[in-house]
Chain A
Amino acid sequence: MTASFEPTISTAGSSTSGLITLHIPATPAHTSIARSAVAATLVQVGATVDDVEDLRLAISEACALLLEHAAESELIEITLDCQGADIYLSLTTKTTNPAPELTASLSWTVLTTLLTSVESVVVRNDELTSLTLALKHRVQIPR
Chain B
Amino acid sequence: MIRLVGIEKDYVMGGEVVPALREVNLHIPKGSFVAIMGPSGSGKSTLMNILGCLDRPTRGQYFLDGEDVSDLSDDELAGIRNRKIGFVFQSFNLLHHSTAAENVALPLVYAGAENQHARALEALRKVQLDHRADHRPSELSGGQRQRVAIARAIITDPPILFADEPTGNLDSKTSDEILGIFEGLYRSGSTIVMVTHERDVAEHAARIITFRDGRLLSDETLEKPARAGSGGAP
Do A and B pair up? The answer is no
Q: Which residues of A contact B (CB under 8 A)?
A: none
